Structure 1
Amino acid sequence: MYNVPPSRPRPRVLVLLLAAALASSAHANAHAADPQGADFADLSIEELANIQVTSVSKKPERLLEAPAAVFVITADDIRRSGAASLPEVLRLAPNLQVARVNGANYAITARGLNGGGNSAPNKLLVLIDGRSVYTPLFSGVFWDVQDLLLEDIERIEVVSGPGGTLWGVNAVNGVINITTRSAHDTHGSLAVLRGATEGGDIAFRQGGRTNDIGWRVYGKAQGRSHTELASGAAIDDAWHAGQVGFRADWERGADRFSLNGNVNRGMFGQPAPGTIAVSGANPGLGTVDTHGANLTGGWQHALQDGGSVNVQLYYDYTRREVPPTFTESLDIVDLQVQHTLAPIGAHNVAWGANARYGRDHVQGSQYVAFLPERLNQTWLSLFAQDEITLAPTLRATVGARVERNDYTGTEFLPSARLSWSRAPGHAFWAAASRAVRAPSRLDADTYIPGRPPYILAGSPGVRSEVAKVFELGYRGQPLPRLSYSATLFYNDYDDLRTQELRPSRTIVDFANLGEGHGYGIEMWGSFQATKSWRLSAGLTAMRERFQLKPGSNDAGSLRRAGFDPSHNLQLRSTYSIDAARELELAVRKVGALDIGQVPGYAALDARFGWRLRPDLDLSVAATNLNGSHAEYGGIATRSEVPRTVAVRVVWQN
């Protein structure tokens, strides 16, 4: 039992306490044209442009021809980066904003809105082998439980911009599509041991083949020590987690099957907002305890006429205990069906349906309640997309999705894209889309006890947040050793969530009285300086402006742009010294945040890798070599992201 404070804070402070609990706990299928598992460092710039992606049209297409802002993180990029977690891997994508909050938690988004509106980031859709990992509790992602054996990742496709037509609501500002390797490509044994100044990791994998079925099993455990304030005071946010899982793949004629499952458990401390939670001096808010399990099955059938049918079914269970605010148990069952037709003249049509069912139980506390505590929800959707060849160098893609949810009913998500290949190796594209972020339980079902009888009451009439997005882009290879991409975007937001104080000044409601816009540019490219030396660079720069509609008194919402840096610049050098040794250097420069007065920072990372034997790799990686810095602020105690040195040994047989 927790002690009740002698007097209750003001309504908005209590909402911020809930947001802190959510934020602290929340921030926390593609096949390559080359052989799977190939070393991408051996590929030329032209071959990299021919990598096939599936996130833009839900079917394989060359990266060069995809009419969207897509950045691909390859398996070799992950290995060379020295990253130890999925959020750290995502720093490789220049079209993402990745900010570490504390020991276990991250704030990640694309094109802004990385917080604000009394919630953690909630407009980025994340998929792992086709399984959506956003939570209907607040429409965001709990990053501390999105864990993978990094050696098993085949690629990560990062699409900045809306993807609602193909992927549904909440794919507003971007889609992260993570694909793991087929079990056919992970035979043999793998062991990983990593020791670092802030913790360590240990992992194993065993794969093989039984008849024509490829299989693998894996397990991993990791721990991170507490972080510190700029003053050097310790924060009780140490993190420990473990996960085991398996995958199997097999083929029967025109049919391909896959089955994978994972079980995870983790816990981390959370300091009280606005306090210095020094170990032994302040217990903070207690330890967040998480565990879950998921199982995904997929079937792909190639039709004789050139079309295909894909079916995927998954079950996902999660439980999260976040003292002193809430405990949630969530079961989700999701069925997806897609039919890709054989070409009909100039038309290439794909259509599909999705049915999703969630059973949610949120046990509240004296501080916050979700009413009803138990809620069953259903999401149903139908989509269709047609890629039309207007001329040998001109393609149009039009599509729409109709999706129904229990809060706002039916949402319409259309998109139109035009792609023009002026010459081989050059592609211009333009797009217009509508995307929405549907209400979550946080929007509609949150109640904070008080007088009379609540000081915050959920709003069942809350609407979806809407984004109308316009994009203009170019992707090309003007020289054999040079490729780059550039995208201009403009986002027009409406019905953004606000927190309104009633005239009685005793009750706060959620409403949709915010609006605004964001615009900017995303650029990245690679240059093969020599056969063994590649240089890469990326830049995102943007501006956001928000205002209130008549009747709103939530002046705090006007500051939501303060969670987003005005720019993010990165430079990376990849150098193969010889067949056994390699050196990676990277520099990141990120603009300041107005919320929490987080100053801008620059970070220097380095990794040296040495293949001691054909089956044994040794690497030394260092992050933030130039010193620690803060990356995210606000109402919670702000951690310094420390300088880290790690040694990693990988044995593979």
Structure 2
Amino acid sequence: MTRHLSFLLLGMVTAACAQASGDQDGERTAAERQAAEFADLSIEELANIDVTSVSKRPERLQDAPASVFVITADDIRRAGSRSLPEALRLAPNLQVARASNSGYYISARGLNGTSNSPANKLLVMIDGRSVYSPLFSGVFWDEPDVMLEDVERIEVISGPGGTLWGVNAVNGVINIITRHAADTQGDLLALRGDSDGAQAAFRHGAGDAGHRWRVYGKVFGLPRSELNTGAHIDDAWDQGQVGFRSDWERGADRFSVNANAWRGRQGQPAPGAISAPGAGTGVDDIITRGANLSGHWEHALDDGGSVSVLAYVDHRYRQVPPTFTDSVDIADVQVQHSLPALGAHNIVWGGEYRYSRDSVTNSRFVAFLPASDKQAWASLFVQDQVALRDDLQLTAGARYERNPYTGAEFLPTLRLSWRMSPAHSLWTAYSRTVRAPSRLDVDAFVPGAPPFLLAGGPRVRSEVARVFELGYRGQVGQDLSYSVTAFRNLYDHLRTTDLTPAGTIEFGNQMEGRAHGIEAWASYQMSEAWRLSAGVTALRERFSLKPGSTDLGSLATTGVDPAYTAQLRSNYAFDSARELEVALRRVGPVGLLAVPGYTAVDLRFGWRFAPGMELSVIGANLNGGHREYGVAQFASEVPRSLGIKLVWQR
């Protein structure tokens, strides 16, 4: 932790020197900026937020024909979230479960990981940069990180997004969008101490009317967590990150450059090892580090269309003793062309090319063969929004994507939206999407007789989902908005572990299944000072093996999801400087893992006691700790915690 604090202090000195020479003429004062951030968006303004993840072009949230929930910067601040996974708990259409300090299982509409398959059907992006791992098609949640004060909004789509975003966007898409550099001018320092950890962050932004930029740095540390018995688990974690963003415009062109670098260390318990309070038991620490650089260019055409290019490079390194070390380099280019309106048609099309170089250092416990591999993905997509009538819109699209293991995949979607009135809309959709195999499915081997205990499947195919949706979104006056979506997912070729005649366990695709459920949320402005928000999900999953399968347990361990979740949030502003948020979450039990249902009560009191100064008192799980994922002998308790946060800006 010390080295990261030194890194942060060095960055703060650099920022101070830069600020001394920066030109701040015409900028709002810190008090003005903080006052603007302190004021919540109205219910009507929330419905009019532009979202881009549904159709890859700005559209009103009220008009988007998909189950999309937007987590705003206001939401994150009011809740007192201290990490990205904690902020994602605010989306009622996500299931977020913590298994350890750095281990999270996050999914939408089920399939949130199994004993042989980590959660791998949710696409996560930060400013358009995908953060899933080519090693297993999922997300290592200790890697993607942002300074939460820099987040503009998080768009959470539950349901398929394969047509616009490609394979692996099966059950949902999370698009984390950070603020334009012009919105983060001046200096900011955030310090937070909790009973179970601490963090610090700084930001400096400067520039002129045509070119704005910012730099930031953050560090945090978490101590070892505990079981419900009080025994410690060796999962202490500290990490530091720095980065910058630059935005500028030249006529019809807009440019943005974003870069980040991070390094972390976290303990890991030896299998079955638990220590008494004060003792230390485990294997060598996990070491993670990475860096990325992305550039985005958008050009407005004279005819009303636009062209954009997003390109990025990403390096990630993960050392997990004594099992494996993985080093991956990724280069990605995305091109998109939005045509001007052609009568009733609005067409957007584009393509993407992604290249990765992955190198694994094998061990006697697990091996990837070949140890080093180079892979490429290429795709083309097109989507047309057709105005059948003034109040009726049809969206048809398809994506053709080629991956290294199964070749070409076809990902179509069809959506129909009926705007019953300016404030009410009904929509329905059908989509086909897939989860393409990863290196884990094909190249992973576990040594043992005969001649391997477990082997990647040479005939592994893509997992397929056909999804039917029906949704309704409405707003009653200026005080109430709500959204309800029913869905049915039909799965085929889900991954299994089959026993071959030679006695080797081999990955296959001999399972099928179905899931159906409902998700709903609403916000109600009780008074000018008081707002209530609520959300609920219900899910039922059923899976079966195909004839001839010799699977050894996938059927029993698939669908490790609660049957229901619910949340209620209350925010009350006493005046322009003081506010109180109280949140109540209820999550149903997970029978397979013997995780009992739990209720969590969170609270935050915020006080803007001076211009540019805000103090928060934050309590999480105030009614007591609980387990969220994993068997009791190894999964840590999510503890009760109390914290104080101070934010200074000018």
TM-score (norm: length of structure 1): 0.93
Aligned residue for 1:336, secondary structure, equals: strand
Change (3 A) 1:41 1:595: farther
Match of 1:24? none
Change (3 A) 1:102 1:371: same
Q: Distance in 2 between matches of 1:561 and 1:504?
A: 26
Match of 1:339? 337
**Is the CA contact 1:562–1:593 (under 8 Å) kept in the aligned structure 2?**
no
Q: Distance in 1 between matches of 2:440 and 2:313?
A: 23
Change (3 A) 1:474 1:295: same
Query: What amino acid maps onto 1:132 in structure 2?
Result: S
Match of 1:487? 485
Query: What amino acid maps onto 1:588 in structure 2?
Result: R
Query: What amino acid maps onto 2:418 in structure 1?
Result: W
Worse-superposed segment, 478-487 or 601-610? 478-487
Query: What amino acid maps onto 2:201 in structure 1?
Result: A
Say if 2:173 is the partner of 1:171. Answer: no
Alignment partner for residue 605 of structure 2, among 575, 600, 608? 608
**Is the CA contact 1:112–1:561 (under 8 Å) kept in the aligned structure 2?**
no
C-alpha distance after superposition, 1:363-406 (max 9, x if no partner) = 11000100000000000000000000000100000000000001
Gapped regions of structure 2 (runs ≥ 5): 1-31
Aligned residue for 1:98, secondary structure, equals: strand
Match of 1:206? 204
Q: Distance in 2 between matches of 1:44 and 1:518?
A: 35
Match of 1:220? 218
**Is the CA contact 2:273–2:281 (under 8 Å) kept in the aligned structure 1?**
no
Identity among equivalent positions (%) equals: 62
Match of 1:47? 45
Alignment partner for residue 322 of structure 1, among 316, 320, 323? 320
Match of 1:535? 532
Q: Distance in 1 between matches of 2:341 and 2:101?
A: 50
1:284 CA displacement: 2.3
1:135 CA displacement: 0.5
The correspondence of residues 407-486 of structure 1 with structure 2, limited to 5 A, is 407-486=405-484
Match of 2:629? 632
**Is the CA contact 2:588–2:597 (under 8 Å) kept in the aligned structure 1?**
yes
Say if 2:251 is the partner of 1:253. Answer: yes
Aligned residue for 1:119, secondary structure, equals: coil
Q: Distance in 2 between matches of 1:560 and 1:478?
A: 43
Q: Distance in 1 between matches of 2:278 and 2:40?
A: 52
1:36 CA displacement: 11
Say if 2:609 is the partner of 1:621. Answer: no
Q: Distance in 2 between matches of 1:576 and 1:567?
A: 31
Match of 1:84? 82
Alignment partner for residue 588 of structure 2, among 562, 587, 591? 591
Q: Distance in 2 between matches of 1:208 and 1:123?
A: 39
C-alpha distance after superposition, 1:104-163 (max 9, x if no partner) = 111000000001160210000000000000001000001111111100000000000000
Say if 2:488 is the partner of 1:515. Answer: no
Q: Distance in 2 between matches of 1:279 and 1:436?
A: 46
Change (3 A) 1:46 1:187: same
**Is the CA contact 1:274–1:635 (under 8 Å) kept in the aligned structure 2?**
no
After TM superposition, the runs of 4+ consecutive aligned structure 1 residues lying more than 6 A away are: none
1:211 CA displacement: 6.4
The correspondence of residues 12-161 of structure 1 with structure 2, limited to 5 A, is 38-39=36-37, 41-116=39-114, 118-161=116-159
Change (3 A) 1:278 1:133: farther
Query: What amino acid maps onto 2:48 in structure 1?
Result: N
Worse-superposed segment, 459-468 or 485-494? 459-468
1:282 CA displacement: 5.9
Alignment partner for residue 240 of structure 2, among 229, 242, 248? 242
1:270 CA displacement: 1.3
C-alpha distance after superposition, 1:314-352 (max 9, x if no partner) = 000000001111100000000000000000000000000
**Is the CA contact 2:450–2:502 (under 8 Å) kept in the aligned structure 1?**
no
Alignment partner for residue 264 of structure 1, among 259, 262, 265? 262
C-alpha distance after superposition, 1:512-549 (max 9, x if no partner) = 00110110000000000000100000001110000001
1:561 CA displacement: 4.4
Q: Distance in 2 between matches of 1:463 and 1:228?
A: 40
Alignment partner for residue 580 of structure 1, among 571, 577, 580? 577
Match of 1:12? none
1:458 CA displacement: 1.3
Match of 1:564? 561
Change (3 A) 1:103 1:489: same
Query: What amino acid maps onto 1:564 in structure 2?
Result: D
Aligned residue for 2:526, secondary structure, equals: strand
**Is the CA contact 1:117–1:499 (under 8 Å) kept in the aligned structure 2?**
no
1:553 CA displacement: 2.2
What is the CA RMSD across the aligned residues, in angstroms?
Answer: 1.5
**Is the CA contact 2:127–2:177 (under 8 Å) kept in the aligned structure 1?**
yes
Q: Distance in 1 between matches of 2:541 and 2:521?
A: 21
**Is the CA contact 1:604–1:625 (under 8 Å) kept in the aligned structure 2?**
yes
Match of 1:381? 379
Q: Distance in 1 between matches of 2:101 and 2:108?
A: 22
Q: What is the number of residues matched between the two proteins?
A: 618
TM-score (norm: length of structure 2): 0.93
**Is the CA contact 1:595–1:633 (under 8 Å) kept in the aligned structure 2?**
no
Query: What amino acid maps onto 1:172 in structure 2?
Result: V
1:594 CA displacement: 1.7
Q: Distance in 2 between matches of 1:202 and 1:380?
A: 40
1:453 CA displacement: 2.4
1:579 CA displacement: 0.8
Query: What amino acid maps onto 2:271 in structure 1?
Result: P
Change (3 A) 1:339 1:638: same
Say if 2:342 is the partner of 1:372. Answer: no
Query: What amino acid maps onto 2:447 in structure 1?
Result: P
**Is the CA contact 1:315–1:331 (under 8 Å) kept in the aligned structure 2?**
yes
Query: What amino acid maps onto 2:480 in structure 1?
Result: L
Query: What amino acid maps onto 2:387 in structure 1?
Result: T
Gapped regions of structure 1 (runs ≥ 5): 1-34
Match of 1:525? 522
Query: What amino acid maps onto 1:343 in structure 2?
Result: A
1:478 CA displacement: 2.6
Say if 2:298 is the partner of 1:300. Answer: yes
Change (3 A) 1:366 1:317: same
Aligned residue for 1:530, secondary structure, equals: coil
**Is the CA contact 1:562–1:595 (under 8 Å) kept in the aligned structure 2?**
no
Say if 2:624 is the partner of 1:642. Answer: no
Q: Distance in 2 between matches of 1:508 and 1:555?
A: 8
1:586 CA displacement: 0.2
Q: Distance in 2 between matches of 1:635 and 1:490?
A: 32
1:303 CA displacement: 0.3
**Is the CA contact 2:230–2:277 (under 8 Å) kept in the aligned structure 1?**
no
Q: Distance in 1 between matches of 2:140 and 2:438?
A: 15
1:562 CA displacement: 4.9
Alignment partner for residue 547 of structure 2, among 546, 550, 562? 550
Aligned residue for 1:143, secondary structure, equals: coil
Q: Distance in 2 between matches of 1:538 and 1:41?
A: 23
